[in-house]
Chains A and B, each alone.
Chain A
Amino acid sequence: MTETRTAIRMSAGTKIYLYVSLTIIAAIVVVPLLTTALGGFKTLGDLRVNPFGLPAEWQWSNYTDILFGERYWRQMMNSLIIATLTVFLTVSVAAMAAFTFAHVKFFGATFLLNYFLIGLMFPAATAILPLFIRIRDLGLLNSYWGVVLPQVAFGLGMSILLFRNYFRNLPEELFQAAFVDGCGYLRFFWHITLPLSRPIIATVAIVSFVASWNSYILPLIMLNSESIYPWPLGIMVYRGEFGTEWQLVLAFITLTILPTIIVFFLAQKHIIAGLTAGAVKS
């Protein structure tokens, strides 16, 4: 590849410029995260005089108190349940709809597809009040479903588009072969389309999982008892409760973002590809 050649030709000056710039930017990204994690090990006084350095004395109890408490785990569980339901529903509902758009010819198909694509044009926030009233009237306020259903609905436009584009690119011959062999649509979907579509299922799943895991405005409006708060809401409540005891808040933030960071580093290739491909392919 040409890159290796460029690398060889690069002068010392260019190299220094490159690494210095990159390191400065990397520091701006990493320092806030690192000081947050370290700050969780300090006492408040230590934090005040020395926010950058290592703790004078490592206060493990800041972290262990949270880890042995019930609150942290409950919030993580709530987030996990909401995200899992969202991913499962989004993938199954969107894949089924996209399948009909890709393979079944029917009257009004183009119109219906465009109907779903309207959903790509505006964020959930625009309709948040009527959405609240709808969820309230359905009796779903303060339940997981009250958050899951709107999340799925607003993710449908993008997911259907991703699935449909992928399904259409599967080799046509497969399709014809299956039908001549007497395979119906349902069996074709289950035994041929889905197994061949693992990459796009992964993409849609990653996009909707990350969106749900990080989502704040929908749970904020639909949920009102702390026992079912997902972590972004919980962390705000925690911050409200402990006010300026920053060392505790920092420890709590660190623990709540820790799963994301671990999963990100373990599955970085898939996550980066999923999140950017999700953007590009649609």
Chain B
Amino acid sequence: MTNISATTAIEHAAGATRVAKRKSPTARGRLPVLILFLPPALLLFTIFVIMPMGEAAWYSLYRWDGYGLPEQFVGLRNFEVLFKNGAFLTALKNNFLIIVVSLLLQIPLAIWLATMLANRITGVVVFRLIFFLPYVLADVAAGLIWRFVYDGDYGLFAAVAGFLGVETPYVLADKDLAIYAVLAVVVWKYFGFHMMLFIAGLQSLDKSVLEAAEIDGATGWQKFRFVTLPLLGSTLRLSVFFAVVGSLQLFDMIMPLTGGGPFNSTQTMVTFLYNFGVTRMQVGLGSAVGVVLFVICVTLAFSYKRIFMRHD
């Protein structure tokens, strides 16, 4: 019965709209739904996202320990201090390095694995699962596990070094090596996510184009370089976007691995914010870091949209 009434209603509605020239039959009860449905999201978002961001810009102009009201106006001093601070400059450099490694190492690795695993070979599901597994683990857990792997006394690195008969490297305690050790964990944790994006991209490709290329005698590499890769454009842009955004906010994984040390060599912008702004309650300085990060994120988002997303 409901079926019949539904279909007649659809016909009826179609007729009604034709007659009423799309004067929507929806006007009734518009106000209550707006009053009921919009404010919860609007309030939450304004109070916990937009206002704190505005306040960060405001506080960044003050020297303040977070109690009472910010009164000691210092202008742009906090930013000046920031850009003269060695640890912060290292943090900026590290964030940049993480982006570069994500783009030059992680994404090619993900594409390579995706081209293998988009085929229907035996065991494909198992491999996909294994590669995706690190992505669902918490950054903190991944960081701790690798802290053990890298441990010079008990970890896997110690064992491998012992086996090879070389001196045990304490990678996380070495200020020149530590950041590379962190980068390896970043790639370990996130390549599977990017691989999944590319597998989805590859599977939605039009197979006939590849077949045409094959008939024309293209080799495997040529097919990949001139057909597959250009067609993966939108997936690639998406993957790059996530890699960059993720790299900029890296924090959870660094804390268990190095906490930003040794000698601040593995600080990122967010660990710097935490170590110098939050733990010392330097609200002004910490907010200034937030503002810098915000400006970088927004600039990237807009220029990225302008340059790359035009066609999507």
Contact A30 B130 (CB under 8 A): yes
- Give the CA-CA distance A111 to B207 in the complex, in Å: 41
- Give the CA-CA distance A214 to B119 in the complex, in Å: 32
**B159 within 8 A of partner (CB):** yes
- In the complex, residue of chain B having the shortest beta-carbon distance to the beta carbon of A103: B26
Q: A-facing mask of B261-295, CB < 8 A → 1, else 0?
A: 00000000010011001100001001100110110
Binds A, one of B97-105, B171-179, B247-255: B247-255
**A12 within 8 A of partner (CB):** no
Which residues from B are CB-within-8-Å of A112?
38, 42
Main secondary structure of the interface of A (DSSP, over half): helix
Contact B136 A275 (CB under 8 A): yes
Binds B, one of A54-62, A69-77, A176-184, A194-202: A176-184
**A265 within 8 A of partner (CB):** yes
- Give the CA-CA distance A21 to B128 in the complex, in Å: 13
A176-B10, A276-B200 given; A100·B33 CB < 8 A: yes
**B25 within 8 A of partner (CB):** yes
**B230 within 8 A of partner (CB):** no
Contact B138 A106 (CB under 8 A): no
Which residues from A are CB-within-8-Å of B50?
115, 118
**B229 within 8 A of partner (CB):** no
- In the complex, residue of chain B having the shortest beta-carbon distance to the beta carbon of A136: B66
Interface size on B, residues (CB 8 A): 105
Contact B287 A129 (CB under 8 A): yes
Contact B9 A210 (CB under 8 A): no
- Give the CA-CA distance A35 to B140 in the complex, in Å: 17
**B197 within 8 A of partner (CB):** yes
Interfacial residues of chain A within 140-194, with CB under 8 A of chain B in the complex: 149-150, 152-154, 156-157, 160, 173-181, 184-186, 189
Which residues from A are CB-within-8-Å of B212?
none
A100-B37, A132-B278, A246-B154 given; A217·B252 CB < 8 A: yes
**B76 within 8 A of partner (CB):** no
Main secondary structure of the interface of B (DSSP, over half): helix
A90 to chain B, nearest CB (A): 10
- Give the CA-CA distance A217 to B294 in the complex, in Å: 17
Contact A4 B120 (CB under 8 A): yes
Contact B41 A44 (CB under 8 A): no
- Give the CA-CA distance A112 to B29 in the complex, in Å: 20
Contact B32 A28 (CB under 8 A): no
Which residues from A are CB-within-8-Å of B211?
2
**B196 within 8 A of partner (CB):** yes
A131-B48, A185-B29, A217-B251 given; A3·B293 CB < 8 A: no
A130-B52, A216-B251, A260-B138 given; A18·B256 CB < 8 A: no
Which residues from A are CB-within-8-Å of B293?
122-123, 125-126
Contact B255 A173 (CB under 8 A): no
A44-B154, A100-B34 given; A125·B136 CB < 8 A: no
Chain A positions within 8 Å of B, measured between CB atoms, are 1-4, 6-7, 10, 15, 18-19, 21-22, 25-26, 28-33, 35-36, 39, 44, 47-48, 50-52, 92-94, 96-97, 99-100, 103-106, 112, 115-116, 118-123, 125-134, 149-150, 152-154, 156-157, 160, 173-181, 184-186, 189, 210, 213-214, 216-217, 220-221, 232, 235-236, 239, 244, 246, 249-250, 253, 256-257, 260-261, 264-265, 268, 271-272, 275-276, 279-280
**Given A1-B207, A176-B13, A244-B154, list of 20 further CB < 8 A pairs?**
A7-B119, A18-B121, A25-B131, A32-B149, A48-B158, A93-B40, A94-B41, A97-B40, A100-B38, A118-B49, A118-B50, A122-B53, A129-B66, A181-B5, A185-B30, A214-B138, A214-B140, A216-B251, A268-B132, A276-B193
Q: List 30 A-B contacts (CB under 8 A).
A: A28-B188, A29-B188, A36-B148, A92-B40, A94-B41, A96-B36, A118-B50, A125-B270, A125-B290, A126-B291, A127-B52, A129-B66, A129-B278, A129-B290, A130-B53, A134-B47, A177-B13, A180-B12, A181-B9, A189-B33, A210-B136, A213-B138, A216-B138, A216-B140, A216-B251, A235-B141, A236-B140, A253-B141, A271-B136, A279-B238
Chain B positions within 8 Å of A, measured between CB atoms, are 5-6, 9-10, 12-14, 16-17, 24-26, 28-30, 32-34, 36-38, 40-42, 44-45, 47-53, 55-56, 59, 66, 113, 116-121, 123, 127-141, 144-146, 148-149, 151, 153-156, 158-159, 188, 192-193, 196-197, 200, 207, 210-211, 238, 242, 245, 248-249, 251-252, 255-256, 270, 273-274, 277-278, 283, 286-287, 290-291, 293-294, 297-298, 301
